């Protein structure tokens, strides 16, 4: 068994800052290359920071730890807050991050597998438009 604790003071610059817009720091919790293993990372988004659109090849679970954030798919934009747990199915276009007004931290849990970081951008630029609780 391994137990992790989210600690912002352990967070560092992301390895791939080009995957994000705005200021983001990451705390690597569990890192594995083993098939069936789970990658676990806490992501701290400053207000106005979010991922660029992407598509994972495995399901992704986002657990909100603090602040208010947003998660978007092709079809909807939802505000997320502490206690919310989001499942993004493998193959679904999406992005996630803070709102312009609030920082947000979530933990991402995902089985090992590649991610496509350059799918069509669609309406990514409009950010909060149409977001609902």
Give buried/exposed letters for 44-57 (b at 16+ CB in 10 A, else e).
bbebbbbbebbbbe
Q: How far is the CB of 66 from Mn ion (least distance, A)?
A: 19
Q: How far is the CB of 110 from Mn ion (least distance, A)?
A: 8
Nearer to Mn ion, 21 or 60 (CB): 60
Strands, E assignment, the chain: 20-21, 24-30, 38-45, 50-51, 55-56, 60-67, 69-73, 77-80, 85-88, 94-98, 104-111, 115-116
Interaction pattern, residues 83-112, with Mn ion; x per rule: CB under 5 A: ------------------------------
Q: How far is the CB of 90 from Mn ion (least distance, A)?
A: 11
Q: Which residues pair with 44 in a beta bridge?
A: 25, 105
Size of the site for Mn ion (CB under 5 A): 1
Nearer to Mn ion, 9 or 15 (CB): 15
- 21-60 binders of Mn ion (CB under 5 A): 60
Nearer to Mn ion, 1 or 89 (CB): 89
Q: Which residues pair with 47 in a beta bridge?
A: none
Residue (of 94, 86, 95, 47) closest to 67 by Cα position = 47
- The answer to whether the CB of 57 falls within 8 A of the CB of 119 is no
Nearer to Mn ion, 60 or 99 (CB): 60
Q: How far is the CB of 1 from Mn ion (least distance, A)?
A: 26
Interface with Mn ion by CB under 5 A: which residues? 60
């Amino acid at each position: 068994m391994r137990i992790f604790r989210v600690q912002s003071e352990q967070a560092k610059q992301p390895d791939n800052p080009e995957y994000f817009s705005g200021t983001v720091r990451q705390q690597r919790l569990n890192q594995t290359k083993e098939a069936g293993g789970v990658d676990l990372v806490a992501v701290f988004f400053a207000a106005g920071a979010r991922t660029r659109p992407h598509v994972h090849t495995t399901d992704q679970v986002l657990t909100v730890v603090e602040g208010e954030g947003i998660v978007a798919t092709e079809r909807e934009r939802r505000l997320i807050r502490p206690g919310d747990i989001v499942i993004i199915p493998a193959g679904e276009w999406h992005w996630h991050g803070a709102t312009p007004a609030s920082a947000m931290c979530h933990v991402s849990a995902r089985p090992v597998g590649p991610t496509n970081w350059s799918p069509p951008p669609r309406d990514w630029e409009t950010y909060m438009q149409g977001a609902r609780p």
